[in-house]
Amino acid sequence: MERNDAVIVGSGINSLVAGALLSRAGWKVLICERNSTPGGAIATSTTATLPGFTHELLSSWHPLFVGGPAYAELKGDLEARGLVYANTTMPTGVVCNDGSAVLSTDMAATSAEFERLGDGAAWNEMLGEFTKKIDLAFGLLGADLWRANSLKLFRTARKRFGTRGLVATGAELLEPAAPWLDRTFSSPVSKSLLAPWALHNGLGPDDASSGFITKVISAAVAFGGMPVPIGGGIKLVDALMAIITDNGGHIITGADVKKINVVNGKATGVKLADGREFSAKKAVLASTTPQALYETLLGDERLPSTILKTAESFRYGRAAIQIHLALSEPPIWKNDARLAEVAVVHVLDGLNSLSESVNASNRGYLPKRPTIVVGQPTTMDKSRAPEGQSILWIQLQENPRKILGDLAGEIDPGDGSWNQVRLDAYADRVLAQLGEQISNLESATLAKVVLGPQQIEAMNANLVGGDPYSGDCRIDQYAVWRPLSGATGHRTPVKGLWHIGASTHPGPGLGGGSGYLVAKRLLSKKLR
């Protein structure tokens, strides 16, 4: 049995960040990945469509990582191993029934854009007010909420705003996006520009806290852009792995962990499906869902009933669909040529269609006019397509995991599964809707790949039912209640066993937050 200081289950962004920090501090780290390639939701492919085209099959954009503490601490090591980020001054835009708009990292340009829409004063006032709280907002999302030092945030907020102001801020944290947008902005284009960003945290515009999340992500994009690694997300994976191996660690693929070994209430290592065992002297970190951890990896252990009950009741959100296109030329946007240079464009009818699509999906129905997330990585990284050609990264987030019906009345739900016939029919609907905005979409398409919920879960077992966020992100499964309402953050009832990944706080978003928090706790003098 090979001895290590830490064994990490899974090789997603949180595992790699934790492994890099621990190995750099002198720990001997072993990462066990069940798939043939590491990276988790970072799945870069050069063979998905045609030679010369590089596609991110799942996650693609890295603003939360580049703007977060893990990158700040590891930046020098990552750059020394070849990681280079590209960015843009035009990170996002929208096209809807009432027009189009572009949000820029140039504050003056964005202010002028909102002024054009009749909402210049509203945007500047909102941004000014939120900027006064931005340190607390990002601090809340990045804090280890179960450590005593997280109380500093509360004390800082109370000192800054007073008791009444703090109560009012709490109400602001819980407000849905739709009423906030309706109260703040007059233009339907302004609302459509901002509202879809709550989707990227698994929320709809009518969900509690979606207003806060919309502000946070909009501010992050406005200040930090939409960075991507030159050459694909695999470059970040490679650089993090190099930090680990350069410091004596190891990463093994095809290593399906079936059991976490526990002796006298302490995690001592893992056992693989092929019978191999690896010991962990100091810690085991599991980047899994709660069910996978407590019902499978710890299935033989006697655990508190409250833990088992809340793990069993952990629920998953809407499913994702990814469409990847290889194009013979850059897309031509019919109504706003600026959109050809924008990293991520949301295509939707408006705020009402967004609300309808999210709520329909939550109840099992296919939306009639879904919100389409159109990523254009070649606006920043030309190496992802042959010269003069382009790719589109298309994400759909308003999809039921089980289909009960179709609002358009066109697709027979059958047994409710996402079989190939239903998946192709729905993808055709989406591309037809997108073709209303991109004039050469059909003529320029050289190859297409559609990944439905079944394919997405097959690629990453943590994305249950195709949920890209590894768990519903509504407020009862977020912050202090993530991963479990009856648990204590990343600690588990088993000594030396830590829970990380998108199912845990601070949730999804490719930021590496949970891996960072646990690694810093393990390296501190006091674990509590």
113-130: per-residue pLDDT in tens? 999 999 999 999 998 888
Give the angle 469-471-475 at the CA atoms, nearest 5°.
105
pLDDT for 161 beyond 90: no
How far apart CA 389 and CA 311 sit, in angstroms, is 47
Structure-model confidence comparison of residues 229 and 219, the more confident one: 229
Mean pLDDT throughout 27-44?
A: 98
Tell me 292's DSSP state: I
Locate tokens 């703007």: which residue? 67
Mean pLDDT throughout 41-55?
A: 98
Q: Which residues contact 286 (CB under 8 A, 6 or more apart)?
A: 8, 9, 10, 260, 292, 293, 297, 497, 498, 499, 500, 501
Mean pLDDT throughout 175-194?
A: 98
Task: Give the model's pLDDT for residue 526.
Answer: 61
Element (H, E) at 33: none
Mean pLDDT throughout 481-486?
A: 90
DSSP letter string over 113-166? HHHHTT-HHHHHHHHHHHHTTHHHHHHHHHS-TTSGGGHHHHHHHHHHHHHHHH
Rounded to the nearest integer, the mean pLDDT of the chain is 95
pLDDT for 527 beyond 60: no
Beta strands in 376-456, from DSSP E residues, in sequence order = 390-399, 405-406, 445-451
Task: Give the model's pLDDT for residue 451.
Answer: 98
How far apart CA 86 and CA 84 sit, in angstroms, is 7
Distances in whole angstroms, Cα of residue 200 to Cα of each of 197, 216, 414: 5, 11, 29
Query: Is the pTM here over 0.85, yes or no?
Result: yes
Look at residues 27, 35, 34 and name the one whose alpha carbon lies nearest to residue 7. Answer: 27
> Quick one: what percent of the chain has pLDDT higher than 90?
87
Partners of 99 in the beta sheet? 96
pLDDT for 500 beyond 60: yes
Q: Which residues contact 194 (CB under 8 A, 6 or more apart)?
A: 177, 181, 185, 214, 218
> Quick one: what percent of the chain has pLDDT higher than 70?
99
Mean pLDDT throughout 487-498?
A: 92
pLDDT for 14 beyond 70: yes
Question: Poorest-confidence range of 319-323, 360-364, 481-485?
Answer: 481-485
pLDDT for 43 beyond 80: yes
In tens, the pLDDT along 287-313 reads: 999 999 999 999 999 999 999 999 999
Burial (CB count within 10 angstroms: exposed 0-12, middle 13-18, buried 19+), residue 477: buried
Contact status, residue 118 vs residue 186, Cβ threshold 8 Å:
yes
Contact status, residue 280 vs residue 270, Cβ threshold 8 Å:
yes
pLDDT for 1 beyond 60: no
Task: Give the model's pLDDT for residue 528.
Answer: 47
pLDDT range class, residue 141, cuts 50, 70, 90: confident
pLDDT for 143 beyond 90: no
Task: Give the model's pLDDT for residue 359.
Answer: 98
In tens, the pLDDT along 241-252 reads: 999 999 999 999
Handedness of CA 29, 34, 39, 44 (dihedral sign): positive
Q: Which domains are seen in the chain, by residue range?
A: 2-38+62-84+231-314+471-523 (3.50.50.60), 128-223 (no CATH), 318-459 (3.30.519)
pLDDT range class, residue 486, cuts 50, 70, 90: confident
pLDDT for 506 beyond 80: yes
pLDDT range class, residue 154, cuts 50, 70, 90: confident
Dig out the tokens for 249 from the structure: 């660690």
pLDDT range class, residue 160, cuts 50, 70, 90: confident
pLDDT for 283 beyond 60: yes
How far apart CA 418 and CA 450 sit, in angstroms, is 12
Mark 9-39 as b/e (b = at least 16 C-beta within 10 Å): bbbbbbbbbbbbbbbbeebbbbbbbbbeebb
How far apart CA 219 and CA 226 sit, in angstroms, is 12
In tens, the pLDDT along 426-456 reads: 999 999 999 999 999 999 999 999 999 999 9
Dig out the tokens for 376 from the structure: 């254009």
Element (H, E) at 228: strand 228-229
How far apart CA 386 and CA 388 sit, in angstroms, is 6
Task: Give the model's pLDDT for residue 525.
Answer: 67
How far apart CA 285 and CA 312 sit, in angstroms, is 20
Mark 110-129 as b/e (b = at least 16 C-beta within 10 Å): bbebbeebebbebbeebbee
Q: Which residues contact 75 (CB under 8 A, 6 or more apart)?
A: none
Mean pLDDT throughout 488-507?
A: 95
